[in-house]
Amino acid sequence: MSYLSDAKPLSLNDFRKMKAAGEKLAMVTAYDASFAQLLEAEGAEILLVGDSLGNVVQGRDSTVAVTMRDMVYHVECVARGARRAMVIGDLPFGSYQESREQALRNACQLMAAGARMVKLEGGAFMAETVAFMVERGVPVCAHIGLTPQSVHQLGGYRVQGRTDAGARQLKADALALEQAGASMVVLEMVPASLAGELTAAAKTMATIGIGAGPLCDGQVLVLHDMLGVYPGKKARFQKDFMAENGSIAAAIAAYVKAVKAGQFPAAEHSY
């Protein structure tokens, strides 16, 4: 796919149509302008400026030390390289939990920096905050299942929703977030069958899986994991697309193609 600087930016309405048509969404994390342009050129429709930059860019053990200053800087960089793709900025730990007003204030910073949607972690207890922001013009991507900012409280990086009680909670979370107006929800480390149920139940909210099986409306991977350059421990849901392709551009294109065709994630990448 060629890079078209004058291509019309993708909108929330475009993603709703894609969900309704069963067309998979390809999301990748991005942290700078050069990769933003390359990812977009090879077909990625959504660029997530993730607080995962704490791990893969800053070398930290978790995402909790990432600041709003960090996020604003990287959103600005990615937004300069993106023309068509939807840029989503993560609200970092401590920037939205205090109050809905705090969340809106910081979301507005990311929007001013170039994001066209913000992402926050948390289930039904965040629904009021989500509704508050959506009502004021800020599109929201939610994030449930394994929520990295809460990894210490969760006791580590563990699959969520395996018990009956856990599955019921995730279903309640997803419903509450959709009713609050969330346009997307990332499902992280959730059993594939449960992710399929959540996707079928969501009428307007697109589900984006990472370690949640192939039945989600789309998939996301951390850029460095997709290219096999992050030296940390490898999760089951990761795949090194560089290993089978001769260039970074070819690896990105292979990832997008595999997502679109429903070939990634395969069974070995799911729970």
Extract the runs of DSSP E, i.e. beta strands, from 137-205: 140-145, 184-188
Does the pLDDT value for residue 1 go beyond 50?
no
Section 244-251 average pLDDT: 96
Helix (H), strand (E), coil (C) string for 46-113? EEEECCCHHHHCCCCCCCCCCCHHHHHHHHHHHHHHCCCCEEEEECCCCCCCCCHHHHHHHHHHHHHH
**CA R_g for the chain:** 17
Distance (Å, rounded) from C-alpha 184 to C-alpha 204?
Answer: 8
| pLDDT at residue 156, rounded to an integer | 64
- Name the nearest CA neighbour of 115 among 140, 79, 147, 141: 79
154 band by pLDDT with thresholds 50, 70 and 90: low
For 167, the enclosing helix (H) or strand (E) is helix 164-180
Does the pLDDT value for residue 157 go beyond 80?
no
3-state secondary structure at position 122 = strand
Does the pLDDT value for residue 13 go beyond 50?
yes
270 band by pLDDT with thresholds 50, 70 and 90: very high
Name the residue with tokens 């995962």: 52
Does the pLDDT value for residue 221 go beyond 70?
yes
Judged by average pLDDT, the poorest of 152-156, 174-178, 233-237, 239-243 is: 152-156
Torsion of CA 22, 23, 29, 35, to 10 degrees: 180
Q: What is the pTM of this model?
A: 0.95
The whole-chain average pLDDT of the chain stands at 94
| Exposure on the CB side of residue 201, measured as CA atoms within 13 A | 18
Does the pLDDT value for residue 261 go beyond 80?
yes
| pLDDT at residue 6, rounded to an integer | 53
3-state secondary structure at position 123 = coil
Q: Are 238 and 270 in contact (CB under 8 A)?
A: no
Q: Are 27 and 218 in contact (CB under 8 A)?
A: yes
Does the pLDDT value for residue 2 go beyond 80?
no
Does the pLDDT value for residue 4 go beyond 90?
no
Paired strand residues for 46: 27, 86
Retrieve residue 168's tokens.
């019921």
3-state secondary structure at position 221 = strand
Section 66-73 average pLDDT: 98
188 catalytic per annotation = yes
3-state secondary structure at position 214 = coil
Terminal CA-CA length for the chain: 32
Does the pLDDT value for residue 208 go beyond 60?
yes
Residue 197 vs residues 105, 203, 270: alpha-carbon distances, Å? 34, 12, 15
234 band by pLDDT with thresholds 50, 70 and 90: confident
Name the residue with tokens 């700078």: 32
Does the pLDDT value for residue 201 go beyond 90?
yes
Q: Which of 188, 197, 244, 268 is catalytic?
A: 188
Q: Which domains does the chain have, with CATH numbers?
A: 12-269 (3.20.20.60)
Phi, psi of 2 (to 5 degrees): -85, 155
Does the pLDDT value for residue 47 go beyond 70?
yes
pLDDT digits (tens, 9 = 90+) for 79-133: 999 999 999 999 999 999 999 999 999 999 999 999 999 999 999 999 999 999 9
More confident residue, 101 or 2: 101
Q: Is the peptide bond before 92 cis (omega within 30 degrees of 0)?
A: no
| pLDDT at residue 150, rounded to an integer | 82
Section 172-192 average pLDDT: 98
